[in-house]
Structure 1
């Protein structure tokens, strides 16, 4: 983070690394509540959740009467209110602020896609090619799982193939793929020509 302050590393790069780690947050009193409300600090008109990269980074004046709780950074980012940023290691030389706008962008990146795609592949003439495509999309009532019949034609996933794959991925015979890889399969369906996927 010191390198980010010096301009040697973009703060966005540091933020993306932090997202993959656990952070220490401070809560009033004892921990253990179902919902955690981390300490909030203010600078001018801006509001920030105060978090730390380690418990020994917590200043004594902030730690008094509070409990340090280790929380995945993804959870903190996903639960932060609109208009709130994060300040990492406040009061320390390596302190870094992630403003609300940057935090909102990170939250968008972490959000699961509205539609997830899955593929079943089979070896045909010595090549592993797609043979079935499934998707999970969201509507007002929750997830809807479907299987591709033909170009732009979907039917209900009656055997709950997607549900089983999400719950038991190691036992599944389908694999989740990116939107780009799904588009590649759609193009194969339209051409009626199937080749190994170039993207996952």
Structure 2
């Protein structure tokens, strides 16, 4: 009789141990599932934030009044000169869309570093451009690894499926019939009003 009790006790102990293992496994699975949902939520939030900012910039710069006020503010920051004002222009666009950038930011190297610090990423494929992205060109020698000579806001492709000419916004209105919103060759070097316009190097996105 005593041996039977011992066997039963051993069986109960094994059963209890198995139940504890199952409970531990279920708890682990629940924790992993919750962590997965949290990560998915964070990723979706990040994607939504990126998309919202791009769309916000694009919508803002579609308004002609906004184009002109950004242009005038950039010139004012550059002591009344529209030349070499592209960074002032883009930085002003970003500030008006709640991206904090100091008003004394005046060259592409500074702007790139600031955006990097904010977690923005580079993309070297112009086919991935979406309205509201911030584009940087090559240097003056056509070198993609050099310091960009220019930056602008990409608005849209002129012709869907064609990756040459795009609608953009920048400070170079004087070279495009005084239009802040104008067409520029993204893919290749081009000329406007006697000035060389360097080609795409990369764009940055949050």
TM-score range, shorter chain: under 0.3
What TM-score results when the alignment is normalised by the length of structure 1? 0.24
Higher relative CO (CA 8 A, sep ≥ 6), structure 1 or 2?
2
What TM-score results when the alignment is normalised by the length of structure 2? 0.24
Larger Rg: 2
Structure with the higher fraction of residues in strand conformation: 1
Structure with the higher fraction of residues in helix conformation: 2
